[in-house]
Amino acid sequence: MSLAGVHAVVTGGSGGIGLEVARRLDAQGCSVTLIARGRERCEAAAAWIPGAYAVAADVSDERAVAEAFAAAKERYGDPAILVNNAGYAASAPLLKTSLAAWEAALAVNLTGAFLCSKAALPWMLECGFGRIVNVASTAGLKGYPYVSAYVAAKHGLVGLTRALALEVAARGVTVNAVCPGFTDTPLLDRSVEVIVGKTGRTEDEARAELARANPQGRLVQAAEVADAVAWLCSREASAVNGVALPVAGGEVG
């Protein structure tokens, strides 16, 4: 599964699933660029991966994305792998969800993947090889209460995956999504804080409640999601296209 010399761009790469994905791709020989909004966190994450390049950018900003990809290309050449991992989630009932919160969820989770895919795709099509993997969620395959904006955005991301996969199917490029269940990351830590604050449960009780959604009775680990992403990026996965792959212990089929 060597991808020696292939340039991989990972958004949301400053921690959690994104950083684990970057480590896996680095181990397979990729040159890795991390894109994340916070410069300090992004550079700190890149320091864990020898040779990784950190670029600070807001993936929902078209100009920022163009500048980030220009910098990445100058460093390592055109990327043949793109992992759209940048994500944002806020919890509230629909009637208490502001338009700003709705638009923020769509901007990061969906528009960001759209803009980054547009930036990476031309060279993939030109050279006849490319891998785009969108990190969606089980929220892209089913509903959850109190996160309607996030669920809508992740459903949109799965739809984007399936549509783009068909557009590029005959050009050597695959487009797939992974759909993790509740995963032990800083994003989940923020969800736990909300549950604790609103229900009075302890942190352990809140985490146990989230783990119960997984038939295996546990939280998914970021490394497990990264393994799935890395396989979808491999040359051996060339016949896998347009798939939304659950990594959730059987929560969804």
Average pLDDT of the residues in 165-192: 92
CA distance 152 to 148: 6
- Greater pLDDT, 185 or 214: 214
How many residues are there in the chain?
Answer: 253
CB 80 within 8 A of CB 123: yes
Could you say which DSSP state residue 221 is in?
P
237-251, pLDDT tens digit by residue?
A: 999 999 999 999 999
Does 1 score more than 60 pLDDT? no
Does 148 score more than 60 pLDDT? yes
Chain region(s) in the chain for CATH 3.40.50.720:
7-181+221-238
| Helical H segments across the chain, by residue range | 16-27, 39-46, 62-76, 99-106, 112-127, 148-168, 186-199, 203-211, 222-233
CA distance 48 to 9: 16
Catalytic residue flag (residue 150): yes
Q: What is the pTM of this model?
A: 0.94
12-60, pLDDT tens digit by residue?
A: 999 999 999 999 999 999 999 999 999 999 999 999 998 899 999 999 9
- The per-residue pLDDT for 193 is 83
What CATH code is assigned to 7-181+221-238? 3.40.50.720
Specify burial of residue 20 (Cβ count, 10 A radius: 0-12, 13-18, 19+).
buried
